[in-house]
Amino acid sequence: MKKIFSIISAALILFSVTSCDLDREPVGEAQQAPFSSYKEIGFYYDGVYQYLRSAENPSNYGLSDYLTNYYTSSDIDGGTWAPFFHWDKSRLLDNDMINNYYAAYSVLTMQANYFIMRGEEALKNNLLEKKDEIDRLNKMINEAKVMKAVSIYRLMLRYQKGRYTKDNCNDPNSGVCLAKDYNPLAMLPRSTKKESYDYALQLLDEALKGGLMKKSDFAGVPDRITDDYAHAMKARIYLQMEEYNKAISECDAFIANYPLTVLSGNTASDIQKLLDIYADKTSENMVQLYANSRVGTFGQMPGWIGGTWVPSKKVKGTMFYRIYPLAFPSKETVDLLTSNQNDIRGKAWIKDTEVIAEGYPTTPLITKFTGNLSYETIPERPTHRCPVNLCNIAEIYLIKAEAAAREGDANDASDALSALAAARGFQLDPIADADEALDLVKLERRRELIGEGMYLNDMQRWNMPFVNGTPNASNQIVGAFNNQVNVSIPAGSILFSWEFPRNDRQSNKNLKGNWD
């Protein structure tokens, strides 16, 4: 997507082709005009959620995982992913996939701003008469404010200039551009890191004070933004800002509402329980956006089990799911997930899989996002489609554990880590002190959040260097499909932050780049 600014401007057409994303078909057509009815408000509201779902899924925010040692490269992808595996600065500078990430959250912000503007206008003009409709519109506006905070958070993870510290958080032009109102042609300067996160927290506080839906408003797993999710976003942000006691407080506000998985001891059953976290509705899902076989799901990424159905050469008249791996889990990733035989993640989220064609030896691939047959258009030929989870409670346990360890509280860190370990099938060894707890948090975040785009930012937060992964031994069987280049990047390198899209930097002279 070279012309990112043009694409964002084109999104002003709004939701005419994207709003059919919930459990009904909206009626009406998008126009640049004040809302005229509650039905039209619902139409636009559905559309904003479509933009949220397009941005908040692992096929978008998981992109940064390919700049970690989770995976090693394959030369059958035609070089598409080589800039990531090789940390090729010149090819990362205006990479289409990185630009898509930036566009997804920039457009989400713009559409949320539009909805807030029109919604507040409707309330001011007394468009609605029914109290329940007025109350619901207020909550919709607050949900859109949370979406803006989500966009700031995700953009900060990738575009803040260097790691966030108390010493540099007020450096000018170190944060992101804050679009506080609907003005798609505004040429905004960058804020500081602290200003960026403070504004996101302000939006979340406004939404919580103004009112959001609660978990109890839903029969099962919520499919809309809730007050608990707003608290989860605050916990995420406070962790980034090194405000550890505040992060713990936000976690404690809701963590008990979402029980961790209870395993049975039956391996097959427990594997399915862990797969269901990303394929079905479970107690660990805080918000899972609506999905069906037509809309609302995401597919496979390199190193996962993505493939195509082709005629079988072994059994005439049947189809075979042929996987072309554009990447492989590294030896480090295989060891990370499988070193503890009692850890069910090593059986559920990574699996030896036949690749290339029938008869080839197997190689480990990530199976965390195996999917749900109910989301397939042809169930007998699954392509592993998954719904979008906005947050799972396991991440919150890890935030609480890290924050407690940073505050020197080994006991609270150990309690959070032990609870998560039990939900993954193993018992945690005693933790001696806060430093040991923090080391374990770093390992557990790598295990639990693989595929979720957190590790590169964690490396930046923890001031770690990058050293590429080692090809897994079984990858050698497919010989020519390994195309590994040895790369090492020092801790603190500006390459841990992405550069803003070229078109944005050229069209907006107020936007100072990261790599300038």
SS3 labels along 135-166:
HHHHHHHHHHHHHHHHHHHHHHHHHCCCCCCC
How far is residue 36 from each of residues 22, 127, 134, 251, 501, measured CA to CA in Å?
21, 7, 14, 40, 37
Length of the chain: 516
C-alpha–C-alpha distance, residues 460 and 292, integer Å:
37
Contacts 24+ apart (CB under 8 A), 485-494: 485/73, 485/85, 485/86, 487/85, 487/86, 487/87, 489/87, 489/465, 490/465, 491/463, 491/464, 491/465, 492/162, 492/163, 492/463, 493/466, 494/161, 494/162
CB-CB neighbours of 165 under 10 Å: 13
Q: 399: which 2 tokens?
A: 């935030």
Contacts of 511 (CB under 8 A, 6+ apart): 177, 187, 188, 189, 190, 500, 504, 505
C-alpha–C-alpha distance, residues 308 and 353, integer Å:
14
C-alpha–C-alpha distance, residues 312 and 478, integer Å:
20
Backbone angles phi, psi at 72, to 5 degrees: -120, 160
Q: Three-state SS for 127?
A: coil
Q: What pLDDT, on the 0 to 100 scale, is given for residue 322?
A: 86
CB-CB neighbours of 88 under 10 Å: 15
Taking only the tens place, the pLDDT of each residue in 73-126 is 876 777 889 899 999 999 999 999 999 999 999 999 999 999 999 999 999 999
Q: What pLDDT, on the 0 to 100 scale, is given for residue 146?
A: 98
Give CA torsion, residues 265, 271, 272, 273, to 10 deg.
60
Backbone angles phi, psi at 320, to 5 degrees: -130, 135
Amino acid occupying residue 285: N
CA triplet 463, 464, 467: central angle to 5 degrees? 155
CB 512 within 8 Å of CB 190: yes
Q: What pLDDT, on the 0 to 100 scale, is given for residue 359?
A: 62
Q: Return the residue matching tokens 């964690």.
A: 458
C-alpha–C-alpha distance, residues 489 and 133, integer Å:
54
CB-CB neighbours of 370 under 10 Å: 23
Contacts of 124 (CB under 8 A, 6+ apart): none
pTM for the predicted model, two decimal places? 0.93
Q: What pLDDT, on the 0 to 100 scale, is given for residue 15?
A: 38
Q: 52: which 2 tokens?
A: 């949220």
Q: What pLDDT, on the 0 to 100 scale, is given for residue 320?
A: 84
Taking only the tens place, the pLDDT of each residue in 331-362 is 999 999 999 999 999 999 999 988 876 666 78
Amino acid occupying residue 491: A
Q: b/e string for 386-399 if b means 16 or more Cβ within 10 A? A: bbbbbbbbbbbbbb
Segments of the chain with pLDDT less than 50? 1-30, 477, 479-480
C-alpha–C-alpha distance, residues 446 and 454, integer Å:
8
C-alpha–C-alpha distance, residues 326 and 97, integer Å:
15
Distance of CA 73 to the CA centre of its chain: 22
Contacts of 184 (CB under 8 A, 6+ apart): 8, 9, 12, 110
